[in-house]
Structure 1
Amino acid sequence: MPTGPAGAAQENGPSPARAPLFVSDYGNNRVVRLPAIGDSPSTVPLDGVVRPTGLAWDAARDLYVADTGNNRVVKVVAKGGEQSTVPTVGLSRPLGLAVDVHGTLYIADSFNDRVVKVPADGGGQTTVPTTGLLHPWGLALGAGGDLYISDFVNDRVVKVAADGSGQTTVPAVGLSQPTGLALNAAGDLYISDSGNNRVVKVSAGSGTQSTVPTTGLSDPLGLALDGRGGLYVADGLNNRVVRVAETGGDQVTLPASGLNTPTGVAFPPADKAVG
Structure 2
Amino acid sequence: MGPADAASAGDVRPQSRPPLYVSDYGNNRVVRLPSDSSGQRTVPLDGLVRPTGLAWDGAGDLYVSDTGNNRVVKLPPRGGDQSTVPTTDLSRPLGLAADAVGNLYIADSFNDRVVKVPADGSGQTTVPTTGLLHPWGLALAPDGDLYISDFVNDRIVRVSAHGSGQTTVPTVGLSQPTGLALNAAGDLFISDSGNNRVVRVSAGSGRQRTVPVTGLSDPLGLALDCHGGLYVADGFNNRVVRVRETGGGQVTLPSTGLNTPTGLAFPPTGGRPGRY
Normalised-by-shorter TM-score class: over 0.9
Q: Which structure has the higher relative contact order (CA within 8 Å, separation 6+)? A: 2
Is this contact kept in 2: 1:108–1:136, CA < 8 A?
A: yes
Distance between the aligned counterparts of 2:219 and 2:232, measured in 1?
6
Is this contact kept in 1: 2:19–2:271, CA < 8 A?
A: no
Distance between the aligned counterparts of 2:226 and 2:180, measured in 1?
15
Q: In the alignment, does 2:13 pair up with 1:15?
A: yes
Distance between the aligned counterparts of 1:233 and 1:81, measured in 2?
30
- Between the two proteins, what is the percent identity of the paired residues? 78
Counterparts of residues 1-275 of structure 1 (less than 5 Å): 13-16=11-14, 17-274=16-273
Amino acid at match of 1:250: G
Is this contact kept in 1: 2:24–2:262, CA < 8 A?
A: yes
Which contiguous aligned blocks of 4+ residues in structure 1 show a shift greater than 3 angstroms? 271-275
Distance between the aligned counterparts of 1:36 and 1:187, measured in 2?
26
Amino acid at match of 2:58: A
- Consecutive unaligned residues of structure 1, counting only runs of 5 or more, are 1-11
Distance between the aligned counterparts of 2:79 and 2:117, measured in 1?
23
Cα distance, 1:268 vs. partner? 0.3
Amino acid at match of 2:12: P
Distance between the aligned counterparts of 1:75 and 1:109, measured in 2?
17
Amino acid at match of 1:263: T
Residues 128-163 of structure 1, C-alpha deviations (whole Å, 9 max, x = no match): 000000000000000000000000000000000111
SS of the residue corresponding to residue 106 of structure 1 reads strand
Amino acid at match of 1:197: N
Distance between the aligned counterparts of 1:81 and 1:174, measured in 2?
45
Higher deviation after alignment, 173-182 or 80-89 = 80-89
Structure-2 change in CA distance of 1:271 and 1:257 (3 Å):
closer
Is this contact kept in 1: 2:56–2:98, CA < 8 A?
A: yes
Is this contact kept in 1: 2:155–2:177, CA < 8 A?
A: yes
Distance between the aligned counterparts of 2:55 and 2:272, measured in 1?
16
Is this contact kept in 1: 2:219–2:233, CA < 8 A?
A: yes
Cα distance, 1:81 vs. partner? 3.6
Amino acid at match of 2:216: L
Cα distance, 1:84 vs. partner? 0.1
Query: How many residues of Structure 1 are paired with residues of Structure 2 in the alignment?
Result: 264
Is this contact kept in 2: 1:184–1:227, CA < 8 A?
A: no
What TM-score do you get using the length of structure 2 for normalisation?
Answer: 0.94
What TM-score do you get using the length of structure 1 for normalisation?
Answer: 0.94
Cα distance, 1:272 vs. partner? 4.7
Distance between the aligned counterparts of 2:238 and 2:189, measured in 1?
21
Distance between the aligned counterparts of 1:273 and 1:77, measured in 2?
10
Cα distance, 1:13 vs. partner? 4.2
Amino acid at match of 1:54: G
Distance between the aligned counterparts of 1:142 and 1:270, measured in 2?
17
Is this contact kept in 2: 1:240–1:262, CA < 8 A?
A: yes
Is this contact kept in 2: 1:19–1:34, CA < 8 A?
A: no
SS of the residue corresponding to residue 55 of structure 2 reads strand
Amino acid at match of 1:30: R
Distance between the aligned counterparts of 1:122 and 1:48, measured in 2?
25
Cα distance, 1:273 vs. partner? 4.7
Distance between the aligned counterparts of 2:45 and 2:215, measured in 1?
32
SS of the residue corresponding to residue 209 of structure 2 reads strand
Residues 14-60 of structure 1, C-alpha deviations (whole Å, 9 max, x = no match): 12251210000000000000012220100000110100000000001
Amino acid at match of 2:49: V
Residues 90-111 of structure 1, C-alpha deviations (whole Å, 9 max, x = no match): 0000000000111100000000
Amino acid at match of 1:147: L
